[in-house]
Amino acid sequence: MVNTPDWVKHAVFYQIFPDRFARQGGAHLPLGISLKPWGSCPGEQGFQGGDLLGVCERLDYLQNLGINAIYLNPIFSSACNHRYHTYDYFAVDPLLGGDQALRQLLDEAHARDMKVILDGVFNHASRGFWAFHHILENGTDSPYIDWFEIEDWPLRPYHSDDDNPPNYKAWWGLPALPKFNINNTGVRQYIFSVAEYWLEFGIDGWRLDVPGEIDDDLFWREFRQRVKAINPEAYICGEIWERATHWLQGDMFDATMNYEFCSLALSYFGHHSLRTDYKKNALPLEPLTTEEFIEGVGNMLGAMPKDINDVQFNLLGSHDMARPLWIVHEDISALQQAMLFQMTMPGAPCLYYGDEISMTGEDDPHCRGAYPWHQPDLADKRMLAYVREIIHLRHQVPALRTGEVEFDTDLPPEVLGYQRTLDDQQVQVLINRGSEAQTIRLADAEQWTLLFGGAERLLPHGRELWVNLPARHQVVLLRTTPPMSLAKAV
């Protein structure tokens, strides 16, 4: 039986990379520390000082944008700016403000009816993690020796001049990231206790980092049981780049990060400007025809039950890939059309911080630049207004969140059309990605109301409504009275 959190169906997420979103600074910072200047070139090393109190100060901005859920990249104590190298799972990093800063963020977010989910890195720890440090100090005499998979001695916890790999299981062979021995009972209980502790603290769910590396269904089933026992509405979202049918049977995850959605959307709307030489994990990027795109989206949606599709984590960008604007060669129109598609399809859309103001950048670390609060002229205000409008459109129209989907198949080759239908509410979306204007006819002219796009594009023609779509333009219309007719080309 599939049972997913209802609130996620109505959520618009905003992903925050804590070191780079907003810096409050202040008394919570340890004395005598050295931070890189805010807005300096992002690197694999170095901290720019973003913190959770800075996020608190920007909650009004996020709420005005239409955001009602926040996904935070890791926030626990770590010696790396992305904090995927965890050394204390029960403490918020002091540079982020510590536990009290998270308490304040949760309280202020919840007062605004905003949810907050955390990033759970449970496949591996860091070499500074207390149990691994115990092994480094005590060798074979450490009681925690079976918490990791040690191959021989002495341990090699750092890269060496002779390029010898670490002699213990490590994520991607990186000595800084020793892999937990998930078969150890103590390890399993430790991870479960971490998940439970922060849910009781008040978080609203977990995004799970590389959960496919923990190839143990029994572990994830118990993880789900423990999580849902504390909060049945907690969201469990796994980072699985491929189609994840196996994980989405109702007994492990509620959803996955939907990189398939990302690949399809950027490949279709960015077809003229796509950087096809950009290769990233399971993120194929090849120009698609409208027919190929409709087939791909149909296959994606058809692979999952509706309750899963409605809570899938639909993203166009993240900390693990180049910025979507960079991928489409700074083609603003292409990204805007992809965003409209994102906001009008089943699933919970997620904005990566700064995409709403046209931040750009290659693969990490360049996709992890500081939000330019200090240089407001760098923010694309037209893009910001556009994103705000389409997010509020999603919130205003229930059919865009939980309605059925049907694609039009008899439109001009460069026009994408589809309907979202819920009860007596039908929404028609028309997107012209091409370089030539098109005219589309809709039956029952008097029943349509323009929701998004220019009213000058609508021309009543007898009982039909003619929709004039200039090149690279889009409209969204609402009809509240059946019968429901598909769009047709003139």
Active site residues: 209, 239
Cβ-contact 262, 312 below 8 angstroms: no
Q: How far apart, in whole angstroms, are the C-alpha atoms of residue 309 and residue 94?
A: 38
List 431's β-bridge partners, or say none: 416, 474
Dihedral class, residue 67 (left if φ above 0, else alpha if ψ from -120 to 50, else beta): beta
Report residue 371 as tokens: 């939000």
Q: How far apart, in whole angstroms, are the C-alpha atoms of residue 149 and residue 268?
A: 44
Return the axis-axis angle of helices 217-230 and 185-201, rounded to nearest 10°.
Answer: 30
Return the axis-axis angle of helices 259-269 and 332-343, rounded to nearest 10°.
Answer: 140
Question: Which amino acid does the sequence have at 153?
Answer: W
Among residues 275, 261, 378, 380, the alpha carbon closest in space to that of 311 is found at 261
Cβ-contact 47, 19 below 8 angstroms: yes
CA–CA distances in Å: residue 249 to residues 1, 15, 141, 256, 298: 7, 26, 43, 12, 19
Q: How far apart, in whole angstroms, are the C-alpha atoms of residue 73 and residue 91?
A: 15
Apex 198 CA angle, 195 and 204, nearest 5: 95
Among residues 129, 131, 128, 105, the alpha carbon closest in space to that of 118 is found at 105
The terminus-to-terminus CA distance of the chain in angstroms comes to 46
Q: How far apart, in whole angstroms, are the C-alpha atoms of residue 301 and residue 311?
A: 12
Burial (CB < 10 A; 0-12, 13-18, 19+), residue 161, is exposed
Cβ-contact 264, 338 below 8 angstroms: no
CB atoms within 10 A of CB 456: 7
Q: How far apart, in whole angstroms, are the C-alpha atoms of residue 1 and residue 109?
A: 31
CB atoms within 10 A of CB 33: 10
DSSP 8-state assignment for residue 149: -
Omega cis (within 30) before 154:
yes
